[in-house]
Chains A and B, each alone.
Chain A
Amino acid sequence: MSEVRGFYTLWFREVKRYLRDRVRIISSFFQPLLWLVIFGTGVRFSGQIGGLNYQDYIFPGIIGQALLFTSMFMGISVIWDKEFGFMKEILVAPVSRVSIFLGKMIGDSTDAVIQGTIVFILAILLGIKVDPITYLVALPVMILITFGLVSIGLTIASFMGSLESFGAVQSFINLPLFFLSGALFPLIGPGIPEWLQIASRVNPLTYGVDALRTIVLGTAWQPLELQPLYANIAVVGVFDVAMIIIGTWAFNRMK
C-alpha cells in the first residue's frame, strides 16, 4: 500500500510541476505548428506520398516527434532533482526504487502525452481531418510510445552530472531517432538505400509512427504500412519493457 502511495505521489508531482509551467505549455504549441504549417505546406506543393496530402502524411509523424522530444527532455527532471537535492529526499524514503522509477516515468509520460494531445488540437485548428474517436484510439498507443522514450531519458539522466552534458547527449539521440523514424518521409521501401532502411528498422520510433499513421489515416495508409497495427504495438511494447528494466536498474544504482 505504501508503495502505491509512493508511486502515486511521484506521478502527481511530475504532472503538477508540468501543468504549473505555463511558459512550457504555451511554447509547446510552437514547434509542431512550424512543422505542420511551414514544412507541411511547403513540401505539400512539391510532391505527394502514396497519393496522400503531405500535411496529412506528416501529422502522425509530428505527434511522434512531440512525444519523442518531450519524453527525452523529461530526463532533465532527474538532473534538476539531483542538482537541487530533492533526489535525496526521494531516494532515502522507504519506497522501492521500482516504485520511484515507475512513478517518475509514468508521470513524465503523462506530460509527454499531453504534449501529443496538443498536436491533435493544432491539427484540428489547421483543418486536418481528425475525429475524437481517432484520438481515443491513438491515446493508448501514444502512452505506449512514451514509456520507452521517457525511460531512455531518465536512464541517461541518472548517469549525467549536469544539465549541459544531458543536453548534449540528448541532441545526439533526438534528431537521429526523429529523422530515421519515417516521421517526415518514407525510409523503408523500394529505391531507398539499404543502410538507411536498416537504420530505420532498428529505430523503435519507426513502429510507433507507423502505428499512429494506421490509426489516424486509416484505409488510406493501410496499403503503405510497414506492418499491421498489432505487430507495431508488439514491437513498441517489447521496447518499453526492455527500457523499463534498464531504467529501474539505473535508478537502483543511483546514490
Chain B
Amino acid sequence: MADWDSDKPGRDPYGSNLTEAPAVDARRTQEVVEEIVETGAKPLGLWADTWRRLKRNKLALVGLGIIIVFLCVGTVETVFYQAHWHVRSSPDTRANQRVPGYLAPYDPNEVNYALSPQGIGSPPSWKHLFGADFLGRDVLSRVLIATRIAMLVGIIAVAIALALGLLLGPISGYYGGAVDSVIMRIADIFFAFPYILFVLLIMSVLGQGFQNVFIAIGVLGWASFARIVRGQILSVKSMEYVEAARAQGAGDLRIIFRHVLPNSMAPVYVAVAMAIGGAIATEAALSYLGIGVQPPNSSWGLMIAESVEYLAAGNWWWLLFPSLALVATVFGFISFGNGLRDATDPKLKE
C-alpha cells in the first residue's frame, strides 16, 4: 500500500514541522559553481553556507542565544547540583549561606517559613529576586534547578526518539516494499492519537515520575523522525553517487549510513531542535498535571501547578518566573529550528 500523507506538510504531534526539502538542488549547485568561477572565491561548505544564511535571521539568533544560556545553566546545575547541596545541607556548613561559584543562590528545597508568614510566599526582594513560594523556598533557585530537568528531558527523550527514528526510517526508505509498508502503517497508528493524550495514556500505565517521562516522550517520538528520514532517503537513494557506491561493491548498510544518511540530515537537525522544544513543553504539561516530576523536586510545570492554587491571593511572581523560563526555552528551540529550516532549504535561497 502506498503512503498517503507522509509528504504532507504540517505540525505532527511531536512538535516538529517540516516540508521535506530535496537534499540536493542541481540548479543551486550550478549557481554556486558559477559564483565561484566568477569571483574566484573559495566554495562555502554546507555548514558555512547555512551559518551565513542563519546569521541574517534575528529571531533564530535570539533562539540560539536562549538555547545556549539554558544549556549552560542546565549543565552547571547537573554537574554541581549533588555535591554542592549535599555540603550545604550538612549542619556545620549551615551558617555559610552562600557558596560562590554556583548559580542557585539558595538550597532549592530549603523550607523557610519566615519567608512565607501567611503561607502564600513573599514577593520579589533584593535577597530573593524571584520571591519565595508557599513554603518559603527561593523561587529563583527552584527555577534554576528545574532548568536541569527540562534540559535532561528535552535531550534524552529526543535522543531516544531519534535513535529509533534513525534505525527504522532508513530501513523503511531504503528497502521499500513490505518492510516500508509495515513500518509506515505502524507510524500512522502513532500519529492517529492526539499526542498529549497518548502520552497521558502511557504515563498512566508506567506510573508517575520523571524517568517515565523520558520513556513516554522518547518512545512516542520515533514516528516523526522515521517519516522524515524515510522521505529524505527516498529522494536521495536514486542519485548517481549511490549507484556509484553500489557499483564499487558497497553493502546496504554502508550505503545507508555512509552515503545516504549524511546527505539526508538537514531536515533531521531541524526536527531535533523543534522536538526538544516540544519535549520540554510536554514534560511541563505532565508535571503540571501531576504525573511528571514529583514534589519536592522542582520542575517548571510543577511550580506552575503549585503556584496557581494561590493565584487568587495575588502571588504572580511564583507563576511568572517559571512560566517565563519555560516559554523562553520552548520559543528558543522553535525559533532556532524555524531559522535552521529556512537556512537549509534550497527552495528559499534568494
A and B: bona fide binding partners = no
